[in-house]
């Protein structure tokens, strides 16, 4: 996740599914993309506008990134987003509008107290947005861990065949080797809980994307290049990007970060979604980064002789 921004969405057990209206006798046209709607977004407000799930989701994410609250693009009513782990669906409900609360609070006050109230509300809305993001992240976590386990099962680590016959202890898999294998398996990418895919990018590439999002210059602007290279001169410093599974801050010089290709365009992770290499290997292959070598299932038999798979 980008630490600089925030987000929200509704989903459940199966990350492939997103809440939609199942009764669709007629094909409707989405008010945003004008395509025939295959998944109609079920709105929590009284708007009679038809949105496809993708556009509705994207509109909530844009709103969240612009004003720290997801709102209906038509009536602007605040929308609460939850991920229903049981069904794998996004669930939308009404949130109490903060503007109405503000009007009541400021009624009859002088200019100075109103200014102080505004300042306090601004801080509050930022922390509420962070809470929203944390809540959704906690709701999606089990589904994301399951997707990583499935990725590991579909792209297994090589089995040490020789040791089976000889009865000698099987080779252990190092964290680095497992990470390298996961990177090679990237043709079959791990799935993100938002139904998109996680792609492995370098710290430089991730920093570039972050700059594109937050800097007021295009990538070919000299100032953009200057700022980017100043970051890269400090490879061990932390990017304002954290792993969404362990919360670890990632460094500019990190060789591999698994980031969702959808970036911040879904309310499910409106501040992007990142998984560090350690978490990917841990959850996909049950290999811990701390250990110099970790034994695979075959190597559970007692033995002193551990062959470390080279990088």
Binding site for Zn ion (CB under 5 A): 30, 32-33, 45, 47, 52, 55, 72, 74-75, 192, 194, 196, 243, 245-246, 260, 262, 273, 276, 279
Pick 55 or 172: Cβ nearer Zn ion: 55
CB of residue 71 to Zn ion, shortest distance in Å: 8
CA distance 170 to 56: 52
CB of residue 36 to Zn ion, shortest distance in Å: 10
Contact 204, 232 (CB under 8 A): yes
Q: Which two three-digit tokens encode residue 172?
A: 């252990």
| Torsion sign over Cα 261, 262, 268, 269 | positive
Pick 265 or 295: Cβ nearer Zn ion: 265
CB of residue 202 to Zn ion, shortest distance in Å: 16
Pick 28 or 105: Cβ nearer Zn ion: 28
**Intra-chain end-to-end CA distance of the chain, in Å:** 29
Contact 295, 170 (CB under 8 A): yes
Pick 85 or 194: Cβ nearer Zn ion: 194
CA distance 152 to 149: 5
Q: What are phi and psi of 142, to 5 degrees?
A: -60, -40
Pick 45 or 215: Cβ nearer Zn ion: 45
CB of residue 86 to Zn ion, shortest distance in Å: 20
Contact 1, 269 (CB under 8 A): yes
| Torsion sign over Cα 69, 72, 76, 77 | negative
CB of residue 111 to Zn ion, shortest distance in Å: 33
């Amino acid at each position: 996740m980008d630490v600089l921004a925030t987000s929200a969405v509704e989903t459940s057990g199966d990350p492939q599914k997103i809440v939609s209206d199942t009764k669709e006798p007629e094909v409707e046209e989405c008010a945003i993309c004008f395509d025939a709607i295959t998944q109609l977004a079920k709105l929590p407000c009284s708007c009679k506008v038809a949105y496809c799930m993708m556009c509705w989701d994207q509109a909530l994410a844009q709103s969240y990134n612009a004003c720290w609250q997801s709102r209906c693009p038509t009536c602007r009513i605040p929308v609460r987003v939850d991920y229903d782990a049981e069904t794998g669906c996004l669930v939308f409900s009404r949130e109490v509008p903060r503007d109405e609360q503000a009007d009541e609070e400021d009624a009859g006050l002088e200019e100075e107290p109103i200014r102080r109230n505004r300042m306090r509300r601004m801080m509050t809305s930022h922390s509420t947005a962070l809470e929203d993001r944390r809540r959704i992240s906690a709701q999606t976590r089990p589904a994301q861990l399951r997707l990583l386990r499935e990725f590991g099962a579909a792209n297994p680590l090589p089995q040490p065949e020789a040791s089976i016959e000889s009865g000698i202890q099987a080779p252990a898999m190092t964290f680095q080797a497992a990470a390298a294998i996961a990177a090679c398996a990237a043709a079959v990418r791990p799935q993100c809980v938002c139904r998109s895919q996680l792609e492995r990018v370098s710290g430089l590439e991730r920093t570039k994307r972050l700059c594109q999002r937050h800097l007021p210059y295009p990538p070919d602007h000299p100032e953009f290049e200057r700022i980017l290279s100043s970051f890269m001169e400090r490879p061990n410093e932390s990017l304002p990007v954290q792993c969404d599974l362990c919360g670890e801050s990632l460094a500019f010089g990190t060789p591999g970060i698994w980031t969702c290709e959808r970036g911040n365009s879904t309310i499910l992770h409106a501040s992007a979604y990142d998984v560090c290499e350690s978490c990917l290997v841990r959850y996909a292959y049950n290999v811990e980064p701390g250990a110099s070598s970790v034994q695979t299932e075959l190597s559970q038999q007692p033995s002193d002789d551990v062959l470390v798979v080279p990088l």
